[in-house]
Amino acid sequence: MTPLERVPLAPYSTMGVGGAARFFVEARHEEEVAEAVAWAARRDLALYVLGGGSNLVVGDAGVDGLVLRLGLRGIETREVGGAVELTAAAGEPWDDLVRLTVERGWAGLECLSGIPGLVGATPIQNVGAYGQEVSETLVAVRALDRGSGQVVTLASHECRFAYRQSLFKRDAPGRHVILSVTYRLAPGGAPAVRYAELRQHLAARGLAAPALARVRESVLAIRRSKSMVIEPGDENRRSCGSFFVNPVVAAGDAARIAAIAGDASVPRWPQPDGRVKLPAAWLIQRAGFARGQADGAVGLSTRHALAIVAHEGARAGDVVAFARHVRERVEAVFGLQLVPEPVFWGFARLRDGLPDDGAA
């Protein structure tokens, strides 16, 4: 294996900022993944696994290690007890897979339409949107365990899923290189129409009992209205989507925040454990930020306050500085610290999930 050297990473990230990888290789077969992992280990180099780059901010100085881009492809299906188990390689484009399942009438992923990135990223963050999460249908993750050097298969319960969390992100970050993911879907099943905004959009279209395809259409339309579908020509396309996670707080904290805002109708979603999920975008706007507000070459999306957008001339340090400003303002107003959603590469240190300063 002969990696390339000094490969710019900005073109591989939807944010479009950041420096170069010291070494870079793309693996199209599992054997190449194992070889790349071993190559980095022999040289005591940090390994960075790159998917679609849609949830990534790379530091301006780049990364001193080996960036392994996953190009694994392939989809297999089998019937199991009236369900369909679909196994997709980690390098398969996520939305292409969702479209395939909808076209075949397999329920379980329809509300996750339009999310950028690759299949291998979905378990890491327990990807979810519009009332649906991958943990609801995921049955197994096949991965290379960098500790043992063995390929392992982890059942859903072993992945320790929680809201935007998993074993791969929280408990053992960097230990596993995901090779493929298996989902169990329901042929002819009803779509998941749980989210209020989605129900309203469908109702406005006169769809009381929508088919999977109609739900996908509505999800895509809603996402496009917020610039959450990456499309050429969109002024908001250079972003990581939602930059902060919707916070889940105690019921008393939710009431306190509503009192501070002077708005008892703050949007909220009760959770099974009695806590309440609040919309981070609402908090950002109530803290004094407006859609489209910018500081130099970085600002909020003109369509959604939860997306931080990098414009022409932006640097990674600018993105981090703006994100810190937003978070500090929300914390000052509401006493609540937002948690960033992207992964940060090439920064000297993190503090509470954000790079401690704008420099690498």
Q: What number of CA atoms fall less than 13 Å from residue 11's CA on the CB side?
A: 3
Q: Is the pLDDT of residue 63 over 90?
A: yes
- Of all residues in the chain, the percent with pLDDT exceeding 90 is 93
Q: What share of the chain is helix, strand, coil (3-state, %, to 5)?
A: 30, 30, 40
Does the 75-225 domain belong in CATH 3.30.465.10?
yes
CB 109 within 8 A of CB 98: yes
What confidence tens digit (pLDDT) does each residue in 307-326 have?
999 999 999 999 999 999 99
Q: What is the pLDDT of residue 357?
A: 63
Task: Band the pLDDT of 359: cuts 50, 70, 90.
Answer: very low
What confidence tens digit (pLDDT) does each residue in 225-254 have?
999 998 889 999 999 999 999 999 999 999
Write down the CATH number for the domain with range 4-70.
Answer: 3.30.43.10
Please give the average per-residue pLDDT across 18-33, as a whole number. 97
CB 20 within 8 A of CB 61: no
Average model confidence (pLDDT) for the chain? 95
Tell me the residue length of the chain.
360
Beta bridge partners of 187: 106
3-state SS assignment for residue 19:
coil
What confidence tens digit (pLDDT) does each residue in 117-137 have?
999 999 999 999 999 999 999
Q: What are the structure tokens assigned to 73, written together?
A: 């492809």
Q: Is the pLDDT of residue 39 over 90?
A: yes
What confidence tens digit (pLDDT) does each residue in 180-239 have?
999 999 999 999 999 999 999 999 999 999 999 999 999 999 999 999 998 889 999 999
Q: Which residues, in sequence order, are CB contacts of 154 under 8 Å at separation 6+? A: 140, 141, 142, 143, 167, 176
Q: How far is CA 247 from CA 258, 283, 353, in A?
A: 14, 10, 14
Residue showing tokens 């979905």: 122
CB 47 within 8 A of CB 85: no
Residue showing tokens 């879907």: 185
**Nearest in space to 138 (alpha carbons), one of 118, 114, 116, 154:** 154
Phi, psi of 285 (to 5 degrees): -70, -40
Helices and strands counted in the chain (H then E): 7, 23
pTM exceeds 0.85:
yes
Q: What is the pLDDT of residue 358?
A: 46
Q: What are the structure tokens assigned to 51, written together?
A: 């998917």
3-state SS assignment for residue 204:
helix
What confidence tens digit (pLDDT) does each residue in 42-58 have?
999 999 999 999 999 99
**Nearest in space to 90 (alpha carbons), one of 26, 40, 142, 146:** 142
Q: What is the pLDDT of residue 284?
A: 98
Q: What is the pLDDT of residue 34?
A: 97
d(CA 36, CA 25): 8
Task: Band the pLDDT of 291: cuts 50, 70, 90.
Answer: very high
Q: Is the pLDDT of residue 148 over 50?
A: yes
Q: What is the pLDDT of residue 92?
A: 98
Q: What is the pLDDT of residue 354?
A: 95
**Residues designated catalytic:** 164, 242, 341
DSSP assignment string, 153-194: EEEGGGG--BTTB-IIIIISTTTEEEEEEEEEEEETPPP---
Overall fold of domain 239-355: 3.90.78
CB 16 within 8 A of CB 61: no
Q: Where are the domains of the chain?
A: 4-70, 75-225, 239-355
**Nearest in space to 229 (alpha carbons), one of 320, 357, 113:** 113
